[in-house]
Chains A and B, each alone.
Chain A
């Protein structure tokens, strides 16, 4: 279809106006679906603009047998080699879940150490930070596992063993107070954020999975910013987020 630049601009303006006119309807539809009143929640949520990973969890948990197969994104996500090892987007989903599980486990170790008095006096704000962030990481892991489950794969309950063995276990041994813990946590948050950014920029193919990664990466960066702020570092050190430190699907999960 041949159109002139002028016609294109006019049509774009019309579209923009119509977009504004119908946006409330679209938002209402999304809200309705989030509340479970939609007729094809899972299919819509995987494909719709405005998807949130929170909604994704709702969709996965509220499994409706009647719309089996409606998860259009699952087809492109589903992949494994002949040995049964996950490949492609599903491998990244599994990696992400394992990193989130590792974060959950590490914050728990910090909370346990604090409870046992091994970290000295723990300010209330630090305890709140650890428990809140831990819960958010649990929710992030659930989001990735919902993708795996939706594709017929088992949820990942293990952690990224590669990072655990090389970084967390030796590093946590040197955590003796809340400052050490905060510095240690920054490393984990930055690895998670970098892994998601790398996934979005270089690895993930499925639009739904890109949205999930995109909805989580900025939260991990917030965790990191607050930790920097409390430690006395400049809280937004990078003008552009980096992929340095990103983990890959070759990491061992166990």
Chain B
């Protein structure tokens, strides 16, 4: 297996990744341009695609409405509102995009805050350099994801979401930050946030009605899950007392057997950690 990469090799890899990133951004921008055109056409005509609305209603709205109604929590007016195409089309898609942007903002904030913690700046190499390079690139990718979701929100007639998901920030991040005492704590926490992002986007691919917004969710959920895989692998090596193996191309013969499976603990991505579609919407 490959030996420890030099800084030069690492930089070359990051440069290569930048090129791939630029290619992907061009593809996404093309998709977003199409989204703009579709949004303009839709608003100009005042029409709603019945198939898209039906798909939406089949999923999120109908089930939520039925569930809430069954619990005696929804009045007739709100039930009608949930079933209305206008609500599904103009409101929930925008809110879902804004919520996604808020999750990306949250991830960026957490990574930036966590890497500023003293113990994160004193990780011995090669783990230290590897973690710094990974965090730098991951923050950049989350920033691009945030921009993509905000572009989708504005192109569907909504506002950009420049703030983090306040519910998660208040209920999860704020209480957790003081408990982060080691690189292992930080890496595990970041892995949890990546899971929340991936699962939220998975939930949205079958809930939103706009095809291009769905495509944006679909193209990002797997990337967040890849971040999680690497974080889980790094966490396992830290937990196993093998920080010297945290590098691109670790000596495979020295890896513990469990390292071969720790990065993908689930056979199917679930949605039990998904955040509500409207949670991070612009108020």
Contacts and interface: CB of A to CB of B under 8 A. Distances in A.
B268 A54 contact: yes
Interface in A157-207: 178-179, 193, 197, 200-201, 207
Given A47-B63, A219-B268, A234-B137, A241 B218 contact: yes
Interface residues of A, number: 79
Interface string B52-75: 000100111001100110010110
Interface residues of B, number: 91
A86 interface: no
B89 interface: no
B128 interface: no
A252 interface: no
A236 B233 CA distance: 13
B203 A241 contact: no
Interface in B77-130: 77-78, 80-82, 84, 87, 91, 95
B259 interface: yes
User: Per DSSP, are chain B's interface residues mostly helix, strand or loop, or mixed?
Assistant: helix
Contact of A12 (B17, B144, B227, B278): B278
A50 interface: yes
Interface string B20-39: 11001101100000000000
A21 interface: yes
A119 to B, nearest CB: 12
Given A49-B64, A224-B226, A236-B227, A216 B268 contact: yes
Interface in A50-83: 50-54
A236 B137 contact: yes
A224 B227 CA distance: 12
A20 B64 CA distance: 11
A230 interface: yes
B263 interface: yes
Interface in B233-281: 233, 248-250, 252-261, 263-264, 266-272, 274, 276, 278-279, 281
Interface in A79-102: none
Given A128-B258, A222-B225, A231-B2, A52 B268 contact: yes
Given A128-B257, A239-B21, A239-B24, 7 more contacts: A11-B77, A11-B78, A128-B258, A193-B222, A211-B205, A214-B221, A218-B269
